[in-house]
Chains A and B, each alone.
Chain A
């Protein structure tokens, strides 16, 4: 039973398209996150939700919009995709700061 699952695993799309990535966790955690990992493996936090409330909103283009319908789901919608959006996007969840994160397996987004 996958703890944090992301779909799709791979996403190839053309510039200008709109796409969504879905994330679900079955761990009962209250906090969920989206991270972007670039080609140099650098991890950058994008958003965090705690029980459906946005608590971290880093400086990302407003083409990126997170949505949390309930505390088990955190989706990422991206409008007007650009070449620079190509990266691996990781979803993660956390019970509390002492337990660290549980990560999903990532979504590799390629914009052509």
Chain B
């Protein structure tokens, strides 16, 4: 069975400060990993994904994430956040032979002016 854990339900951060949103997963087989962002009253949008290759992946809006197989983690980072980054962020995983995505419980990022 798979599971996805987002360790922080809420992360407040000041504007222009760096941020890291944590995601850990459990799976006995290889997985694909994703981060989605949900702005208020909108659907989820894909930020970035890891399928294979380089463990550091870059996404939209200046976000990046690093896949760490030994720690089964896929943490999301941004060196300098903007007010517009205030949103809910979801980590998701799917087995590379599976047909269902598993989502974490979300992290609410609030950027403080």
Binding site for B on A (CB under 8 A): 4, 31, 40-43, 45, 48, 50, 55-56, 90, 92, 97-98, 100-106
Which single member of B43, B45, B105 contacts A42 (CB below 8 Å)? B105
Verify B99–A41 contact, CB threshold 8 A.
no
Q: Within B1-33, which residues are at the interface with A (CB < 8 Å)?
A: 32
What's the tally of chain B residues with a CB closer than 8 Å to chain A?
Answer: 26
Least Cβ–Cβ distance between B5 and chain A, in angstroms: 13
CA distance A31 to B94 in the complex (A): 14
Query: What are 12 contact pairs spanning A and B, CB under 8 A?
Result: A92-B44, A97-B94, A98-B49, A98-B51, A98-B96, A100-B34, A100-B101, A101-B46, A103-B43, A105-B42, A106-B42, A106-B43
Contacts of A42 in B (CB 8 A): 105-106
Binding site of B, secondary structure by majority: helix, strand, loop or mixed?
strand
Are A100 and B99 closer than 8 Å at their CB atoms?
A: no
**Contact among B49, B51, B106 with A41 in the assembled complex (CB-CB below 8 Å):** B106
Is B64 located at the chain interface by the 8 A CB criterion? no
* Chain B nearest CB, measured from A9 CB (Å): 9
Residues A101 and B88 in contact, CB atoms below 8 Å apart:
no
A50 to B43, CA, bound (A): 21
14 further contact pairs, Cβ within 8 A, besides A41-B106, A43-B106:
A31-B99, A41-B38, A45-B101, A48-B100, A50-B99, A56-B99, A56-B100, A97-B94, A97-B98, A97-B101, A98-B51, A103-B43, A103-B44, A105-B43
Chain A residue nearest to B90 in the complex (CB): A43
Residues of B within 8 A of A104 (CB): 43
Question: B32: which of A45, A48, A98 is its contact (CB, 8 Å)?
Answer: A98
Contact present for A101 and B101 (CB under 8 Å): yes
Q: A40 to B42, alpha carbons, bound, how many Å?
A: 15
| Residue of A whose beta carbon sits closest to that of B105 | A42
Q: Hey, what's the 0/1 contact readout for B82-101 against A, CB within 8 Å counting as 1? A: 00000010101011101111
State how many angstroms separate the Cβ of A55 from the closest Cβ of chain B.
6
B96 with A97: CB separation less than 8 A: yes
CB-CB under 8 A from B41, the residues of chain A are 106
